[in-house]
């Protein structure tokens, strides 16, 4: 059972039809995992890559005010939990004017060191 992180975190390349976040869904029990795992951590079933239904619902939102060790994002910044239709809730940095209950969608973003990451932002008509 390996966790599929990929070269730039648990992301699909820009333009990938499976969306921004690299997730898997178990063929046996339908459980969705992020980051993607080859074998389901609950039942062991084969878990091919899947597409997450977007947008998701922002259910939790807090602010990081002190720079954490190793973090590259300047404080303060927002971190939230987003609930998706596949039954999974995913943590991530949240950008823009958002509030709990908003529809948000994952988007590619760049860290100050040039590495790719993801953020959640207000859902729009944008297609990744």
Partner 1 sequence: MNNTFIAGVGIHPFGRFDADYRQLGEHAVRAALSDAAVKPSEIDMVLVANVGAEMAKGHSVMNQIARTGVPIINVEAACASSGSALYLGSQLIETGAARIVLCLGVEKAPRGFIAASGYERWQIESGIGVNPVYFAIQAQELMASSGVTGEDLADVSVKNHRHAVHNPNAMYREECTREEVLASRAVCDPLTLLMLCSPNEGAAAAILMHRDEVARRDQRAAVRLRGVGLVSRGPDDWFVPAPSFQTERRSSITARAAALAYEQAGMGPSDLDVVECQDTDAASELIAYADLGLCAKGDEAHLLRSGSTELGGRIPVNPSGGLLSKGEPLGASGLGQVHEIVQQLRGRSGLRQIDGAAVGLTHVMGAGHNSCVMVMCS
Q: Please, which residue, 89 or 98, has the CB nearer to partner 1?
A: 89
Sequence-distant (6+) residues with CB within 8 A of 84 are 32, 52, 53, 54, 56, 90
User: Does residue 17 touch partner 1 according to CB under 8 A?
Assistant: no
Number of chain residues interacting with partner 1 (CB under 8 A): 39
Q: Are 2 and 37 in contact (CB under 8 A)?
A: yes
User: Does residue 1 touch partner 1 according to CB under 8 A?
Assistant: no
Q: Are 20 and 121 in contact (CB under 8 A)?
A: no
- Token couple for 20: 């921004």
CA atoms within 13 A on the CB side of 92: 28
* Minimum distance from residue 50 beta carbon to partner 1 (Å): 13
Figure out which of the listed residues 27, 46, 111, 124 binds partner 1, where binding follows CB under 8 A: 111
- Which residues bind to partner 1, rule: CB under 8 A? 5, 8-10, 31, 33-35, 41-42, 60-66, 68-73, 77, 79, 81, 83, 87-93, 111, 113, 115, 117-118
């Amino acid at each position: 059972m390996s966790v599929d992180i990929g070269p730039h975190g648990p992301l699909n390349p820009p333009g990938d039809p499976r969306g921004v976040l690299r997730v898997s869904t178990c063929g046996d029990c339908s459980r969705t995992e992020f980051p993607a795992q080859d074998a389901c951590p609950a039942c062991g079933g084969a878990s091919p890559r899947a597409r997450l239904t977007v947008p998701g619902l922002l259910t939790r939102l807090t602010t990081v005010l002190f720079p954490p060790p190793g973090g590259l994002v300047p404080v303060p910044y927002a971190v939230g939990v987003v609930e998706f239709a596949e039954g999974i809730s995913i943590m991530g940095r949240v950008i823009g004017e958002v509030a709990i209950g908003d529809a948000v969608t994952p988007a590619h973003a760049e860290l100050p060191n040039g590495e790719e990451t993801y953020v959640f932002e207000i859902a729009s008509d944008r297609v990744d």
